[in-house]
C-alpha cells in the first residue's frame, strides 16, 4: 500500500516504513503526528484518487529528528559597480518515519 501526501508545498510518495526529510512540522522527537492532506491511496486491488483530497485518509508518522538542512548560499553581483551581496539560508526540516496509512 502506498499514498501520495502533500506537506510543506511538496508531494511525496510514501509507503509504511519509509523515512523522509520534510519541511518542519510541530512536535517533539519520538512523538507521532498525522499528515491529513492525502491526494491518493493505492493498494493491490483498488486506487482512491482524491478530488483534491481523499476523505478520511491520513498517514501517521513518527518524528525522529528536528534539524537544519545544509546551507544554501545566495550571491548577488553586478559587474563594474563593486556591488556584491552574500547571504545564506538553512531550512528547518523534520525527519519522519511513516508508521501507518489509513484509508
| Contact (CB, 8 A) for 32 and 46 | no
Q: Is residue 76 part of a domain?
A: no
**Residue 3 pLDDT more than 90?**
yes
pLDDT of residue 16: 95
**Residue 103 pLDDT more than 90?**
no
Residue 42's domain spans which residues?
A: 2-65+94-102
Q: Is residue 74 part of a domain?
A: no
Number of domains the chain contains: 1
pLDDT of residue 35: 95
Q: Is residue 7 part of a domain?
A: yes
Q: Is residue 18 part of a domain?
A: yes
pLDDT range class, residue 55, cuts 50, 70, 90? very high
Q: Is residue 16 part of a domain?
A: yes
pLDDT of residue 9: 94
pLDDT of residue 65: 96
Q: Is residue 30 part of a domain?
A: yes
Cell, residue 17: 516504513
Q: Which residues contact 33 (CB under 8 A, 6 or more apart)?
A: 25, 26, 27, 60, 61, 62, 63, 96
Q: Is residue 33 part of a domain?
A: yes
Amino acid at each position: 500500500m502506498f499514498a501520495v501526501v502533500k506537506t510543506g508545498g511538496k508531494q511525496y510518495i510514501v509507503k509504511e516504513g519509509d523515512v523522509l526529510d520534510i519541511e518542519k512540522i510541530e512536535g517533539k522527537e519520538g512523538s507521532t503526528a498525522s499528515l491529513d492532506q492525502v491526494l491518493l491511496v493505492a493498494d493491490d486491488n483498488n486506487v482512491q484518487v482524491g478530488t483534491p483530497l481523499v476523505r478520511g485518509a491520513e498517514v501517521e508518522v513518527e518524528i525522529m529528528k528536528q534539524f537544519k538542512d545544509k546551507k544554501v548560499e545566495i550571491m548577488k553581483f553586478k559587474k563594474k559597480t563593486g556591488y556584491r551581496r552574500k547571504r545564506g539560508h538553512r531550512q528547518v526540516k523534520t525527519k519522519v518515519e511513516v508508521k501507518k496509512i489509513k484509508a
